[in-house]
Chain A
Amino acid sequence: MASVAYPVDEQSSAKAPGVLAALHEWVITVDHKRLGIMYIMMALLFFVVAGSFATVIRAQLAVPNNSLVPPAVFNRLFTVHGTTMVFFVGMPFFAGLANYLVPLMLGARDMAFPRLNAFGFWITLFGGILLYSSYIAGEGLAGHGTAPDVGWFAYAPLTERAFSRGTSTDYWILSIMLGGIGSTITAINVIATALSLRTKGMTLARMPLFVWMMCVVSFQVLVALPPLTAGQIMLLMDRYLGAHFFDTQAGGDAVLWQHFFWLFGHPEVYILIIPGFACVSEIVPVFSRKPIFGRAAMIGATVAIGFISLSVWAHHMFAVGMTSQANTFFAASTMLVGVPTGIKIFNWLGTLWGGRIRFDTAMLFCIAFLFQFLIAGLTGIMLGVAPLDWQLTDSYFVVAHFHYTLIGGLLFTLFGGIYYWFPKATGRMLNETLGKWHFWLLVLGFHLTFDPQHFAGFLGMPRRIYTYAAGRGWEGFNMISSIGAGIQGLAVLIFVINVIVSVRKGRVAGNDPWDAWSLEWATTSPPAEYNFETLPEVRSTRPLWDLKHPEDPDWKFE
């Protein structure tokens, strides 16, 4: 046996069998594009799982006195559904979009810290798997095999050991903490990349709005996650080290947990939705054939949301018995955050105005977003009016409101983003016919599901109930809502089919299928590992517009 020294790359590519080699490439990668795609695949996978949980929830609630699932199982369903959607769907979507697009938009070779980036992905994925492993490993009150059942905001003291025995709550704490490490890593990476790896000529003033918004999100992550992590560590200390932070039976404070949680939880809402804003701010201009209206105001409004959203958290707590002064303050700050959000909607409207609007599927999702997010914002104002919130909070009105923001707002923009950037990532277009079916079924299903829930809330239906009696006026609304959930499931199924079919047989996209203006469209689809062979000169916010229209370049006006 003579020892032969193989070159490392030859060994890995030539000797390993096909599938394993490919898998190996993905596992060891530090390439921002592959990590971005893996983040998005992870988000979609968990979206399908937690979405199917939602359909079981809706099936149980379709009729009164239903006994499809027992109460304990139902409580785990909505807890894991909420936790997954926020931490293992919304956050990986942010990380995936940022990872894939920020370096390409900046003309960079990769993120600032590629190896840290890979670590961030794997720890996030592990967090998600840990959450679900509670189903087979978590020992709860009812014996082996129980998942967390304390709700996604896990109010104390229900999470204390006196009320949550076994380890199911620990799975909730630890999986979120791991996901938080991944989010923090992404945040640091995005900020460092945007600050230090912009290509020649790209000043901060010329940086794409998408990257600006991702930077604001990243700063929010860095500020908002620590209170959650601190609260969770205190909770672990309560549970295992005899501390009494939230242990009311030993003089602890249940409301303190709520402050810690929502100090994270409200900025988190904006952390989830601003990546959606970022997609809209790229897609709407391209399909209107105009630059974004009021770019500086858009950046200012995003930064303003970043700051104001840190001072509104206690609007989740109007009913806990704060003083009238505190309630007034948080009502005012909550309504104030509507102002920069309104500015954004007006600027998107201004972008449409005078354009030559094309209605491809990506744009349709953004248009639906504009209407739906408008409604979500207005119901948010209603909830910000504290006395009205005393009626509406923790009712189905709130369920409808935040699903309007997170599905009608965020999910629609993410689908828009996927239809828009899928050609860049795979080299092939998603099928437009299937795309339109996907879009219209989702619109229909979404409105059937969530519009009636507002009214169930008006009639006193509280959230998180596993059943309800007949005769309270809720039956019709719930039945329609459940039918809508099924239609949404069908829409998502069509989307999955579209992705599977198009990734193999879709129309070849070419470098720039949308005739767009930011740098990612200046390279091949999919981009080579090194991203760019050559980069156009950046002299304005729309380098490719300048290239295509030498007679009317942007830099003349900036």
Chain B
Amino acid sequence: MLWLALAWLGLAAESRGQTVHAIADMFKPLASPASAVRDLSYLVFAICGAIFVVVASLLTYALIRFRRRAHLDDSEPPQVYGSNQIEIAWTVIPVLIVFVLTMTTARVIAALQDKPQPANAVQVTVIGHQWWWEFRYPGLDVVTANEMHIPVSTRANERPSFLTLESADVAHSFWVPQLAGKTDVIPNRANHMWLDPHETGIYYGNCAEYCGTQHANMLIRVVVDSAEDFDKWLAHQKQPAAADASAPAARAAFFGLACVTCHTVKGTRAIGAFGPDLTHLMSRGTLASGMIPNTPETLRSWVNDPQVIKPGSLMPAMQLTDQELAQVIAYLTTLQ
């Protein structure tokens, strides 16, 4: 496990010059949905804080003021049974507070949930799998995994991303706290949410619904690119896999193995749909749903035995010989 920790330290290198928002603080929102929640939370915290201060002070005062002073004082205090006026007061005031909170809440719910979709919105279909994420860009023939690219949405150039969330197996939940609250990802159902990140960078998130053995390592990265970078990225991802002439033996070995039954490499006969799309594997910064940085060395450890790195992962150790493993890695590293 030590090397895993070391590998994590290496993740800083994976950012490729982009700002990494690793601390997913919901009070430092960088997109409108998260900002709306943060602003609402200030009102809620203020009201709840005021209630706490008032009630806790009264309690503390009563405990000190009305403590039994003399240890052997067995006299009884005046027996008071209640007061209707007071009961009405402490019923009506909370009802009014609830009314205010409900109205404010209703406005924010409607503003966030029922936002109309602008024509230039980027569409992404998010598909939860045990225990990784698939991102599809409908109509663009782009499929990737675990690192979702979306464009920045500035005030001058608003370009929100609308997500459709689906699941291939069990319930998951998509949560990137600095961008928006979470939305569950439920099989046999399509949920929706939207994001409009104001700053470029890499945002961290997690699957937030318990989904089985490796729920903890179903990490999310949202890579927010500038408009140009995003278009460049899309154009690159649209390409079929590079047919690198330098490694024909490695390529032949890869397609002779069982990898192709679960993984897709666009433009080849590898059309498996169970595991992540590998067409542009090396363009991604991490492996194993964000657990480790993506380098030839870590890729080799991962393919050799995923169970060491991510116990319970649905990718089995394929019992490859050293030569097969070298060839598979040689081929995979051509998938830029």
Interfacial residues, chain A to chain B (CB-CB below 8 A): 64-67, 70-72, 75, 149-151, 155-158, 162-163, 248-249, 251-255, 288-291, 293-297, 319-321, 323-324, 327-328, 331-332, 335-336, 338-339, 342-343, 345-347, 349-350, 352-359, 367, 370-371, 374-375, 378-379, 381-382, 385-391, 393-395, 458-473, 549, 552, 554, 557
Interface string of B284-295 (1 = CB under 8 A from A): 000000010000
Q: Residue B191 contacts which of A321, A349, A549 (CB distance < 8 angstroms)?
A: A321
Contact of A71 among B55, B90, B167, B312 (CB under 8 A): B312
A386 CA / B104 CA spacing, docked (Å):
11
| CB-based nearest A residue for B112 | A387
Q: Which chain B residue lies CB-closest to A159? A: B170
Is A254 a contact partner of B186 (Cβ separation < 8 A)?
yes
Is the CB–CB distance between A343 and B183 below 8 Å? no
- Of all A-B residue pairs in the complex, the 9 with the closest CB atoms, nearest first, are A390-B181, A460-B24, A465-B216, A294-B82, A248-B187, A321-B191, A248-B188, A378-B48, A460-B177
**B25, B75, B82: which has the most chain A beta carbons within 10 Å?**
B82
**Contact, CB under 8 Å: B189 / A254:** yes
Chain B contact residues, CB within 8 Å of chain A: 1, 4-5, 8, 11, 22-27, 34, 36-37, 40-41, 44-45, 47-48, 51-52, 55-56, 58-59, 62-63, 66-68, 73, 75-83, 86-87, 90-91, 94-95, 98, 101-102, 105-106, 108-110, 112-114, 130, 167, 169-171, 173, 175, 177, 180-184, 186-189, 191-192, 204-217, 291, 311-312
How near does chain B come to A541, taking the closest CB pair, in angstroms? 9
Residues of B within 8 A of A297 (CB): 82, 87, 91
CA distance A469 to B312 in the complex (A): 18
By beta carbon, the residue of chain A nearest B292 is A469
Check A339–B73 contact: CB distance below 8 A.
no
Q: Which of B45, B47, B81 has the most A CB atoms < 10 Å from its CB?
A: B81
Which residues in A have their C-beta under 8 angstroms from that of B68?
A: 289, 356-358
List residues of chain B with CB within 8 A of the CB of A395: 175, 208
Report the separation of the CA atoms of residues A458 and B29 in the bound assembly, to the nearest whole angstrom: 12
Bound-complex Cα distance A472 to B8 (A): 11
CB-based contact B81/A387 at 8 Å = no
Please name all residues of chain A whose beta carbon is closer than 8 Å to the beta carbon of B11 when the two chains form the complex.
471
Q: List 13 A-B contacts (CB under 8 A).
A: A75-B212, A150-B210, A155-B170, A254-B170, A324-B114, A327-B113, A328-B106, A350-B80, A350-B82, A356-B68, A358-B68, A387-B181, A460-B25
A225 to chain B, nearest CB (A): 24
**B52 and A394 contacting across the interface, CB-CB below 8 Å:** no
Q: Is the CB of B82 within 8 A of A357?
A: no
Q: Inside 8 A of B210's CB, which chain A residues have their CB?
A: 75, 150-151, 155, 158, 394, 463-464
B182 touches A255 (CB 8 A): no
Q: Which residues on the B side are within 8 Å of A472 (C-beta)?
A: 22-24, 204
Minimum CB–CB distance for A435 against chain B, Å: 18
B221 CB → nearest A CB, Å: 12
Q: How far is the CA of A249 from the CA of B83 in the complex (A)?
A: 59
Q: Quick one: which of B5, B27, B192 contacts A470, CB cutoff 8 A?
A: B5
CA distance A548 to B28 in the complex (A): 62
Cα A252 to Cα B208 in complex, Å, equals 22
Contact check, B102 vs A458: say whether CB atoms are below 8 A apart. Answer: no
The chain A residue with its CB closest to the CB of B70 is: A356
Q: A460-B205, A472-B23 are in contact. Are A394 and B173 (CB under 8 A)?
A: yes
Contact status A357-B66, CB under 8 Å: yes
- The minimal Cβ–Cβ distance linking A254 to chain B, given in whole angstroms, is 5
User: How many angstroms between the C-alpha atoms of A351 and B113 in the bound complex?
Assistant: 45
Contact B91 A339 (CB under 8 A): yes
With A248-B187, A387-B36, A464-B210 known as contacts, the answer to whether A65 contacts B76 (CB < 8 A) is no
Residues of A within 8 A of B48 (CB): 378-379, 381-382
Name the distance in Å between B292's Cβ and chain A's nearest Cβ.
10
Q: Are B56 and A371 in contact (CB under 8 A)?
A: yes
Set B26, B67, B169, B213: member contacting A391, Cβ < 8 A: B26
Query: Which residues from B are CB-within-8-Å of A70?
Result: 311
A331 B105 Cβ-Cβ under 8 A? yes
Contact of A356 among B4, B77, B182 (CB under 8 A): B77
Nearest CB of chain A from residue B173's CB, rounded to whole Å: 6
* Nearest residue, chain A, Cβ from B113: A324
Contact assessment for B52 and A466 in the assembled complex, using a CB-CB cutoff below 8 Å: no
- The residues of B that contact A371 with a CB separation of less than 8 Å are 56, 59
- Other A-B pairs, 7, CB within 8 Å; known A391-B41, A466-B216: A252-B188, A294-B83, A354-B80, A355-B77, A382-B44, A467-B216, A473-B25
Bound complex: CA of A386 vs CA of B44, how far in Å? 11
| Separation of A290 and B106 alpha carbons in the complex (Å) | 43
Given contacts A151-B210, A321-B192, contact A331 B102 (CB under 8 A): yes
Q: Which residues of A contact B4 (CB under 8 A)?
A: 65
| Contact A251:B188 (CB < 8 A) given known A319-B183, A388-B44, A394-B173 | yes
Residues in A neighbouring B79, C-beta threshold 8 A: 290-291, 552, 554, 557
Chain B residues contacting A367 (CB-CB under 8 Å) are: 59, 63
Which residues of chain A are within 8 angstroms of B175 by Cβ–Cβ distance? 394-395, 460, 462
Given A72-B311, A552-B79, check contact A356 B66 (CB 8 Å). yes
A360 to B39, CA, bound (A): 44
